Amino acid sequence: MPTRDTILLSKGRYQARLGQSDDDLIRAQNLRGLCFRRDGVDQDSYDPGCVHVLVEERVTGRLVCCFRMLMLQNGADVPHSYSAQFYDLTALFGFPGSMVELGRFCIHPDHADADILRVAWGAMTQFVDQHGVEMLFGCSSFVGTQADQYLDVFAVLKHRHLAPERWLPRIKAPDVFRFAAQVRRPPDSQKALQKMPPLLRTYLLMGGWVSDHAVVDQQMNTLHVFTGLEINAIPPARKRLLRAVAG
Crossing angle of the two packed helices 236-246 and 114-131, in degrees rounded to 10: 100
What's the CA gap between 104 and 66, in Å, rounded? 8
For position 135, which CATH number holds? 3.40.630.30
Which pLDDT tens digit goes with each residue over 29-62?
A: 999 999 988 778 999 999 999 999 999 999 999 9
Name the residue range of residue 158's domain.
4-246
What's the CA gap between 107 and 230, in Å, rounded? 24
8 in Cβ contact with 18 (< 8 Å): yes
- Structural domain tally of the chain? 1
DSSP 200-240: HHHHHHTT-EEEEEEEEETTTTEEEEEEEEEGGGS-HHHHH
Which pLDDT tens digit goes with each residue over 157-190?
A: 999 999 999 999 999 999 999 999 999 999 999 9
Question: For residue 1, is pLDDT > 60?
Answer: no
Question: For residue 21, is pLDDT > 60?
Answer: yes
Which pLDDT tens digit goes with each residue over 123-138?
A: 999 999 999 999 999 9
